[in-house]
Amino acid sequence: MGKRTFIVIGLALTILFGGAGALYAYDSSGTDKIAKGITVGGVDIGGLTAAEARTRLNAQLLEPLKKDIVVHHAPDKWTLTAEQAGLKANVEELVSTALTRSSEGNFVSRGYRKLTGGSVETTLDPDVSYNAAAVDKLVQAVRKDVNRDATNASMSISLAGFKKVDSRIGLRVKSGKLTKAILASLTSPTAKRSFVAETEHLKPKVTTGDLAKKAGTILVVDKSKFTVRLYKNLKFVKQYGIAIGAPGHDTPEGTFSVQNKQVDPVWSVPNSPWAGELAGSTVAGGIASNPLKARWMGVTDGVGFHGTSDDGSIGSAASHGCMRMHVKDVIDLYPRVPVGATVYISH
């Protein structure tokens, strides 16, 4: 091999090692920069230094995540701050991982990539942590303030008439859906942070419209006026005169119901001093010695409505506790009143 050949080989080696040295020096000059093509949760940090990447990730990833979560249900609102949620993102770890990915390979491949404008196509997913119990606490607060049971329509009776309490539809927050939406937003910087608490309606078992039908038949006894008024579905039908219990045999007051009914009722004589020799006996129905004439509608403890032959007692306190009626009146009332009908007695 001639001298000229050695010169050519030497020159080639010098160029080769010189180029490699230059390539190594070029690669070493950018070791603190993140390779192009690396993104974190949609945020491009390629070509940035570690410090620049931290700044960008804090601004575009962490700061949006730190915005308050707000739940609305007019007229109220509830807020969950990032601090309350214990929200954290692994920014330092992500930057470190990006630098590690950028330094993979050797100085030749890295230098070539930088010289040619190549990139490392890598997407890193941020690890966002939070306190799920804080979200549960928020949703529970919304439920506590918004949820309400359905209220059935109701009614009270007095001598003045009927007082209705309207039914009300209940509300229940769709808590599962709300919780899921909030949890998803906590880990996404682009997700919305404001939510409307959706609710579902709870229907009452008895609506205001049902009330009249459910009220059925009602008898209102006004002891001070010696009358009984008949109502059907809360509408007045008819009024009848009555006699009530004499002093010492007071007709009981309160709300009762018709317990039993009988045509030409048998009289089971109370075992009381006023019954005399009949006390404790039974008198057949439909005979002259039986004071319970024509019809019987029992209310409570042997007290009820019945016909009387003593028409002059109607409009006075004359009975032993029962509500006496003219025979024609009790016969007229009897088929209008079913067992179970409400009986209200007052004065």
Are 61 and 189 contacting, i.e. CB atoms less than 8 angstroms apart? Answer: yes
Concerning whether 322 is annotated as a catalytic residue, the answer is yes
Q: Radius of gyration (Cα) for the chain, nearest Å?
A: 46
Catalytic residue of the set 306, 320, 326, 347: 306
Are 261 and 292 contacting, i.e. CB atoms less than 8 angstroms apart? Answer: no
| Closest C-alpha among 285, 288, 282, 286 to residue 270 | 282
Cβ count near 175 (within 10 Å): 18
Catalytic residue of the set 249, 320, 322, 347: 322
Q: Classify residue 34 by its DSSP letter.
A: P
Concerning whether 347 is annotated as a catalytic residue, the answer is no
What are the catalytic residues? Answer: 306, 322
